[in-house]
Amino acid sequence: MTNLTFDDYNFEVINIENSKENLLTINKNMMTFDRSIAECLKYASHIRPLLDRENKIFAIQVCRSVASKSVAFSKPETKQKGSVKIQAVAIRNAVRMLMKDLWKEDMRYQLEGTFIEDHKAFIFDLTKYKELPPFKIERKVLDNE
């Protein structure tokens, strides 16, 4: 048996809190918002999608469920287990059409959001993106083509 003691090491606590990168991933079929975005928006049940075509900015803003063009967003905090997924085709298509000259149809794109607390909103600069490969299933299809 060794004579190791806990004090022989210089331990540091590993941070297990959310990194709060506030990332939005736009896939071929859906948009996925990191849970940190839902947290900043206080797990809002509905958002309103906004688009500034000239500046290529996409935004989401908290709104009431009865607001015009509201979209269901997050479950309550205790029930929202992971990221928030939105499958609204109209939103995804509007963003992809705006970026059609820069984005490839089969690729995924990740954007970092900026929280605007006064407006209960997140904005995403569509020109500042990270291109991600397609999902594995999509890659298998592409490999077999």
Could you tell me whether strands 121-132 and 57-62 are parallel, antiparallel, or unpaired per DSSP bridges?
antiparallel
- Which of 123, 22, 36 lies closest to 74 in space, CA to CA? 36
- CA distances in angstroms from 79 to 35, 38, 43, 108, listed in the order given: 12, 12, 10, 27
Tens digit of pLDDT for each residue in 80-106? 988 999 988 999 999 999 999 999 989
pLDDT at 132 over 90: yes
pTM of the model: 0.80
Contact 49, 72 (CB under 8 A): no
Tens digit of pLDDT for each residue in 39-92? 999 999 999 999 999 999 999 999 999 999 999 999 999 999 889 999 889 999
